[in-house]
Amino acid sequence: MKVELKNVSKSFKNIDAIKNINYTFESGKIYGLYGRNGSGKSVLLKLICGFLVPTSGSILFDGINFNEKLEFPKNLRALIEAPSFFPDLTGYENLKMLAKIQNTIGENEIHEALDIVNLTNEMNKKYKKYSLGMKQKLGIAQAIMEDADVLILDEPFNGIEQVSVAKIMNYLLELKNKGKLIIISSHIIEDLNTISDTLLLMDDGILKETQNLK
């Protein structure tokens, strides 16, 4: 799998949020995306997911431009910004409802995802009673449970205790070794340095590859 950004720009009124980005993401790698608030990280990830359409340029998934087809990219799952679920359903019920959309997984895969993020003990609590960290864990669980080829996680570790962060990171490394394409944004440089094959710095809408973010 290759995700190619060709001359991609995104403007909101008179503000250029993304400026002529050319970059290729490849399977079997974890890309760490870093940048200050307002640098364009989340906008870039939303563009890749198809939540936003570029003002100019194109985004290709193995040569296919899903924006032209008015479709979302196939076999991509994401956690972008704060997760949102039904407050009066339990964590498990929320995941089960989402799983019915594609209907490609069953209870075993849902339970496995909950275990990976250390949320099994809280899966029967209503979402409205979840802490910030628990909400983030559920957001990661919904992103990983369907074994997508492309996984995008925007600030996934907010509020999550270090033991669970380490467990999730190990799982992401396993996914990389299985050939998945993973993009993670974080303001925690140490996390990105630990897990990433390639580090990317977003600065004022411009994407730059870098060797070290310490």
Quick one: how many helices (H) and strands (E) in the chain? 6, 9
Domain of 121, in residue numbers = 84-147
* Structure token digits, residue 16: 């250029």
Residue where one domain finishes, among candidates 101, 118, 147: 147
Binned at pLDDT 50, 70 and 90, residue 168 comes out as very high
71 and 155 in one domain? yes
Residue where one domain finishes, among candidates 122, 147, 172: 147
The model's pLDDT over 25-34, given as tens digits with 9 standing for 90+, comes to 999 999 999 9
Q: How far apart are CA 112 and CA 99, in angstroms?
A: 13
- Higher pLDDT: 84 or 47? It is 47
| Whether the predicted pLDDT of 214 surpasses 80 | no
The model's pLDDT over 187-209, given as tens digits with 9 standing for 90+, comes to 888 889 989 999 999 999 999 98
CB 176 within 8 A of CB 30: yes
User: How many structural domains is the chain composed of?
Assistant: 2
2 and 71 in one domain? yes
14 and 41 in one domain? yes
141 and 185 in one domain? no
Please report, for the domain that includes residue 191, its CATH number: 3.40.50.300
62 and 155 in one domain? yes
Kind and range of the H or E element at 12?
strand 2-12
Contacts of residue 6, defined as CB under 8 A and 6 or more positions apart, other chains included, come to 22, 57, 58, 59, 60
> For residue 14, what pLDDT is reported?
86
> For residue 212, what pLDDT is reported?
57
> For residue 150, what pLDDT is reported?
98
The model's pLDDT over 6-62, given as tens digits with 9 standing for 90+, comes to 999 999 998 999 999 999 999 999 999 999 888 999 999 999 999 999 999 999 999
Q: Which of 23, 62, 11 is nearest to 205 (CA)?
A: 11
> For residue 173, what pLDDT is reported?
97
Mean pLDDT of 173-178: 98
Three-point CA angle 37, 42, 43, nearest 5°: 110
Mean pLDDT of 103-117: 97
Q: How far apart are CA 20 and CA 120, in angstroms?
A: 43
Residue type at 105?
Answer: I
69 and 2 in one domain? yes
Q: Which of 32, 58, 38 is nearest to 153 (CA)?
A: 32
CB 12 within 8 A of CB 40: no
Q: How far apart are CA 143 and CA 152, in angstroms?
A: 8
Q: Distance between alpha carbon 209 and the CA centroid of its chain, in Å?
A: 19
157 and 140 in one domain? no
Mean pLDDT of 61-89: 92
